[in-house]
Every structure is written in C-alpha cells, then in structure tokens.
Amino acid sequence: MLLHGLFIIYMENFEDILKLITGNLSGEDKKKVLAKIHAQKEKMEIFKKLKISWAFLSSTRKLDSYEIESAYLKVQDKISGEKRRQIPTIKIVLKYAAIIVFLISLTTIYYTNKQQVKPTNTPKELSYTSFITENGQRSKVVLPDSSIVWLNSGTTLSYPGNFSEQHRKVSLIGQAFFQVTHRENNPFSVQANGLIVNVLGTKFDVDAYPENDKVSVVLESGKVELGHKGFESFSYTMKPGEKATYNIVNNALTLNYVDADIYSSWKDGQLIFRNESMKNVVEKLKRWYNINIEVTDEEVYNSIFSGTIQNESYEEIFRYIEIVCDVHCKLIHNYEEKAKPEIIISKK
C-alpha cells in the first residue's frame, strides 16, 4: 500500500522528476521542475529520497530481506508522523534506499519503454548520471564498478553512461572522498575544475568547490597521478600523506605533507580545524549547517580557529568561536518556511 500510495501521488510530472535526478533536463526545464518540487514539502522529501535511491539503483549493491523490512517500517513511521530519534545520514540512506528503489525501478521501466518508440535514425546521445548533495547534507554513493564515493555538502558528482566500458571518468564539483576499486586495464580519473586525478586504486580526497580558486587533493593511501586537461606537460605523482594544491589563477602546484585523516574526517561526521583561517571556517560551516553567514568586518578573517565539530549545533559552535576568536556572533532564527538561520559575525 505504501509504494502504491507514493506512486499515485508522484505519477504527475514523475517523468520530469526522473529526468532531473538522472541529469537529463536542460537548464530552463530544470528550474521549472525544481520550482514545482520546492512548492510542496512532501514532494521535496520524496525527491531527496529518490535522489539517494537512484545511486543505489545504478550500483551493484544488494540489500538483505531484513534490511528491506526495516526500511519499510522506517518509511511507514515517517509518513504516519511518528517521531523517531534522528539517526546518522549514512544509515538513513541504506534503510530508505531499499523501499524507494522499487518505486524508481517501475518508473525507469516506463521511461525506458517510452524512449524506445523514438525513430531509430536519431543520433545516440551520451547520457550522464549525477548525484547531488545540498548544503547541510552528506551522502555515500556506490558506483557501477563498486568504487565508493562520499559526497560532502553542496557537491555534484557526474559520470557518463559508458562509465564501465573503457575509461572510468567522473566529474566533480565540490568535495568528495574516493575509495576506488583497482582494475588493471580500466583506469579511473576524476576531473575537477581543469585538474585531472588519474587513479591506480587508492583512497583520496578532492576539494574543488567552484567559489574557491584552488583545487586540493589529499592522498590517504595508494597512488594517483595529477594532470591538467589544458597542459600536456603538467604531471605529478603523489605519495601517501601528501596534499597537492592547484592554484587555478596562476596554474601553480604546491605540495606539503599533512595528516590525511583531518581532510577526510567530514565523511565520518566530523569537521576538524587545525589553525585554519576564519575565511575557510566560514565557508565550510555555511555548507555543513546550511546556514547564511554574513561577516561585517574584514578583520574577522584575520582570526585563526582550531577545533573539532561532531554533534554540536551551530549555536554551540558559534558561541565557542566567540570565545576563542574574539569576535561577536549574532544568531538570527528565521522562522519563515524555507528561510535559513543567519549568523552575523563582527569584530569585538
């Protein structure tokens, strides 16, 4: 009954929602569909679950029967309005995915069959699959080759439909941690703002948010080779524990050794800051908590912050920042629907 009810509610415009999830909508159509989804709270909740489920539908991962039963009970409780203690995002992904995957499977069959009625002489276009995490969210994705990718807040990961055929290529906007399955004759590469990370089977973090003028790669284990799509001579082989920072403006690469765990801790629900500039801290907290932060005094950026964030609320964190950084943080709670909380930071 649950699946049937969800299917009836979202059959309207469902094909457009599916195209949005799979990255097959133009910019203007994407805006229109997103506007319709944002207009209804229930539709937005289901849309988020469908995005997560699509990742599992595209992967080879299978769930046991007890996980499917557990997923059914969780979703049923959610819809009936029963309050449960909030559980970590990764667990929600695993439990919700099983029950929603079947729903997407039905629609995928419908969509695929409809596509087949097109004339056979239409040129074949390469399709792309995209995974998106909004600010305040983090997720785990299993790729078709069984490689695992953790996506940080405000991140988009895309790969073409022929991903596993010859060359495993993905594109990244934002931050992700990769655990790549080694295949001798099937290389894996990540493209992020011009920088290309060629992987030989390893674990590494890539930080490539579009608002920054740098791309950082931190190698935890294994081996990666850095290249650039615009410069054939650009090449460097990284060693475990190294951090490579590519400056997009002047095409310069800087290298240093770091504690790799600090840069990948976000995938385990922690943000670790070690003598980090307040400018970087502000940008990361915006995405982590999905809040607006306004800095009214440039001197605030001269502050250096160290600390570890795990289960603390944003109110607790900014009260702590006030103490250690000698700044004033004004918290504004916006109770209007869809309005984000706001923090105004000034120098004391």
Domains of the chain: 1-125 (no CATH), 126-267 (2.60.120.1440), 270-347 (3.55.50.30)
Please give the residue that has the higher pLDDT: either 74 or 314: 314
Report the percentage of the chain scoring pLDDT > 70: 66
The pLDDT value given to residue 33: 75
State the pLDDT confidence band at 179, using cuts at 50, 70 and 90: very high
72-125: pLDDT as tens digits: 444 444 444 433 444 343 343 333 443 343 333 333 333 333 333 344 444 446
Please give the residue that has the higher pLDDT: either 64 or 190: 190
Please give the residue that has the higher pLDDT: either 49 or 313: 313
State the pLDDT confidence band at 208, using cuts at 50, 70 and 90: very high
Query: Residue 135: is its pLDDT beyond 70?
Result: yes
The pLDDT value given to residue 162: 83
Provide the token pair at 155. Answer: 């991140």
The pLDDT value given to residue 150: 97
State the pLDDT confidence band at 209, using cuts at 50, 70 and 90: very high
The C-alpha angle with vertex 26 and arms to 25 and 28, in degrees rounded to 5, equals: 115
The pLDDT value given to residue 89: 39
Strands of the chain, DSSP E = 128-133, 139-142, 148-151, 155-160, 168-179, 188-192, 195-199, 203-208, 214-221, 224-228, 231-238, 242-247, 252-257, 271-277, 292-295, 304-309, 327-332, 342-347
State the pLDDT confidence band at 20, using cuts at 50, 70 and 90: low
Q: How far is CA 174 from CA 197, 287, 318, in A?
A: 15, 10, 24
Average pLDDT, the chain: 75
Query: Residue 261: is its pLDDT beyond 60?
Result: yes
Whether residue 290 contacts residue 135, with contact meaning beta carbons closer than 8 Å, is answered with: yes
Mean pLDDT of 264-271: 93
Query: Residue 338: is its pLDDT beyond 70?
Result: no
First to last CA, the chain: 58
Whether residue 168 contacts residue 158, with contact meaning beta carbons closer than 8 Å, is answered with: no
134: nearest Cα among 340, 316, 277 = 340
Segment among 40-54, 86-100, 216-230, 232-246 with least mean pLDDT: 86-100
Query: Residue 315: is its pLDDT beyond 50?
Result: yes
The pLDDT value given to residue 270: 92
Q: How are beta strands 342-347 and 292-295 bridged, if at all?
A: parallel
Rounded Cα–Cα distance for residues 156 and 174 (Å): 6
pTM over 0.75: no
Mean pLDDT of 323-347: 84
